[in-house]
Structures are given as C-alpha cells and as structure tokens.
C-alpha cells in the first residue's frame, strides 16, 4: 500500500476504503461477519483510511455502518484514520429508492451527532469529521465555529466538507482550517476539477467519492445486470440503465484498452487516472469483496505519465457518455 498526505499533515493510505455500500445504497446490507473479516483484511493490506457516515444504514437500522466499522476496527483504532460525517438525514416518507436528503447543521444537532458517532464508533475521537451537505439555513462560518470547539475539546482532530463549492470552502477555511473535501469525482463526473487551484492554494486534500462511478467504470456491468429495486440505488442511476449502456461503450473501451497496455484492470485505471493527476487526491472505493480490496489497493502502484493523463482527459472531453448519478435530491 502507498500512503499520501492530505491537508497539512494527515497521512492516509493512498486508497481509502469506502464502507457505505456494506450497509447502504447497494441492496440489503452485507453479512456482518463477512464484512468484519473484510475490514480486518483491509488492515492487513495496509488500508488506514476508512470512510463512513452517521446516515449509512437502513430504515430498520439507520446507523448500521458506523456500528459495523466501529466494532470491526476498534482493536486497530490508533493505527487508522477514521472519517465520518454529520449534517443530513433522509426523508423516509418520499417513497423514492434514493431518499431525499434533509440538511441539518444546527450547532445542537452537530453536538448530538458527534456524541452518537463517538459511541457507535467505540472511540473518543474522530480523525476526520465532514459536513455531509451544506445546510442552506446555517451559515458555514457558524458550523466551522462549532467544529473549532470540538477540536479544542479533542473530540475531532480534522474536519472536511462534502460536495463543497469554492465559496463554502473559503468561508469555512477562514474560521477553522479544512483538511479535506470529499466530493464526487470520476471519469464520468469531472466538475470539481475547477476546485484544484483553490485546494492547492489552501493545502486541502481531495477525497474522491464514487471514484468508479458507483462501480460502472470497472466494466463489470452490462444490460443484464440486475439490482434490487427497493434498496439498490443503482436501479435508478442513469449510467446503469440499459439504454445508456450503449452510449457508454466508448468510455468502457478506452478503460479496457488502457488497462491492457498497463497490465492492469479498468477499475485500477479509473483510479490511477485521478491519482496521477494530483498527489493530494485520494479515492475511497467501496467493495464487499476481498479480491477487489486487493485489486483496488494496487491502483496506487500504476504510474501514468503526465502526457498519458492529458491524453485520457482529452479523450474524455470529446467522448459521448450518458449522465452519471449526481446524488440524491436535497430538500430545502
């Protein structure tokens, strides 16, 4: 495993492990014993960066993922960087597969969230605490002020923002230095490349979520792929819809061809592409499968030259591709 530094001094494995899909958004939760084993295996492979959130769960067990991660990793607490998130809950009444998000970053809610997360994670500190989505009602400076207090109290060590824009990053950072943003970033979703200059100026890391476009870029899915209609967000994600699979063939072929040239897999190339762009980008792929944990870790070993990355970017710029899932609707 390789390692990277995000923010001023937070050392993390160059590939993190996104734990969401073990409990949330990708069908019924996976078997707890198997996932506990998988998390242990991740430690053995050198993963030190684990990503969860207070809302990763099911209607029956809304905080399933933090409980799983906390329990599985408690023996390794000091060796790892544990990241979790506050500031949203789901609108369970909306009847959608991917429930709408209701932001809530009121100071009293953040304080309650942090206590509950600490308890579920079986720890007395969180290494990296993200605001999951901006709250349009609570100024980001007020949120940053609460975080500053939590840092002084030793309950959190670093903080970050998810799906953050330049304006929010700058306002937040001015009150309490931000270590990382966690935004959607993949070959199918490149909007946040516009933040690179700001991140470099402020020395903030970019944690890339859904780096393989929810698995689509691995090339392991086709028109016959079936997803549980009630609990698997992929059943409604544009990139997985049968009519869009044809539209995305050129992209999958580019990945396949590059993978062959580099003696790698499409999954690895989709992440090597971003990691070779900037040394402060850290993808956090999710998986439930031990062999993919190994495969994904090796993405950090694939070297692409500057020219190769530019050539991939140029190909992507000109390519026809379908829309990609852009996240659940945010209720105002």
Ligand X SMILES: NC(=O)c1ccc[n+]([C@@H]2O[C@H](COP(=O)([O-])OP(=O)(O)OC[C@H]3O[C@@H](n4cnc5c(N)ncnc54)[C@H](OP(=O)(O)O)[C@@H]3O)[C@@H](O)[C@H]2O)c1
Closest CA to 99 of 210, 226, 209, 233: 233
Concerning whether 56 is annotated as a catalytic residue, the answer is: yes
Asked if residue 146 lies in contact with residue 107, where contact means CB atoms within 8 angstroms, the answer is yes
- List interacting residues with ligand X (CB under 6 A): 18-21, 26, 51, 132, 162, 182, 209-215, 218, 220, 267, 284-289, 292, 295-296
Nearest distance in Å: CB 65, ligand X: 8
Least distance to ligand X, CB of residue 120, Å: 15
The tokens describing 304, both together, are: 């692409």
Cβ of residue 27: shortest distance to ligand X, in angstroms? 9
- Which CB, 166 or 295, lies closer to ligand X? 295
Q: Which of 152, 332 has the CB closer to ligand X?
A: 332
Which one of the listed residues 26, 56, 192, 280 is annotated catalytic?
Answer: 56
Sorted by sequence, the CB contacts under 8 Å of residue 53 that are 6+ apart come out as 20, 65, 66, 84, 85, 130, 132
User: Smallest gap, in angstroms, from Cβ of residue 174 to ligand X?
Assistant: 23
**Own/partner long-range contacts of 277-280 (Cβ < 8 Å, ≥24 apart):** 277/309, 278/196, 278/206, 279/4, 280/4, 280/5, 280/6, 280/199, 280/200, 280/204, 280/205, 280/206
For β-strands 205-209 and 281-283, DSSP reports them as: parallel
Q: Please give the residue whose beta carbon sits closest to ligand X in the complex.
A: 18
> What's the rounded Cα separation, in Å, for the pair 153 and 151?
5
Nearer to ligand X, 31 or 153 (CB): 31
Q: Which is nearer to ligand X, 168 or 214 (CB)?
A: 214
Q: From CA 76, how far away is CA 229, in angstroms rounded?
A: 36
Active site residues: 56
């Amino acid at each position: 495993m390789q390692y990277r530094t995000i923010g001023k001094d937070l050392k993390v494995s160059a590939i993190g492990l996104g734990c969401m899909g073990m409990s949330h958004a990708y069908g019924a939760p996976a078997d707890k014993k198997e996932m506990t084993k998988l998390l242990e295996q991740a430690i053995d492979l050198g993963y030190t960066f684990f990503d969860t959130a207070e809302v990763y769960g099911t209607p029956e067990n809304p905080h399933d993922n933090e409980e799983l991660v906390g329990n599985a990793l408690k023996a390794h607490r000091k060796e790892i960087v544990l990241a979790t998130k506050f500031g949203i809950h789901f609108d369970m009444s909306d009847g959608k597969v991917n429930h709408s998000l209701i932001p809530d970053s009121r100071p009293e809610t953040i304080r309650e969230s942090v206590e509950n997360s600490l308890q579920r994670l079986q720890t007395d500190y969180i290494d990296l605490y993200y605001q999951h989505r901006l709250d349009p009602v609570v100024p980001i400076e007020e949120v940053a002020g609460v975080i500053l207090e939590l840092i002084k109290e030793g309950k959190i060590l670093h903080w970050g923002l998810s799906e953050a824009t330049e304006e929010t990053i700058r306002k937040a950072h001015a009150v309490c230095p931000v270590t990382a943003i966690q935004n959607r970033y993949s070959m199918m979703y490149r909007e946040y490349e516009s933040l690179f200059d700001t991140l470099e100026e402020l020395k903030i890391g970019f944690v890339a979520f859904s780096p393989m476009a929810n698995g689509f870029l691995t090339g392991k899915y086709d028109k016959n792929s079936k997803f549980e209609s009630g609990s698997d967000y992929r059943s409604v994600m544009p990139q997985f819809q049968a009519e869009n699979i044809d539209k995305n063939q050129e992209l999958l072929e580019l990945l396949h061809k590059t993978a062959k040239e580099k003696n790698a897999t499409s999954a690895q190339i989709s992440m090597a592409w971003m990691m070779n762009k900037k040394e402060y980008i850290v993808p956090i792929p999710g998986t439930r499968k031990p062999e993919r944990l190994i495969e994904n870790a090796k993405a950090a070993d694939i070297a692409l030259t500057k020219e190769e990355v530019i050539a991939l970017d140029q190909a992507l710029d000109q390519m026809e591709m379908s829309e990609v899932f852009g996240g659940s609707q945010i209720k105002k």
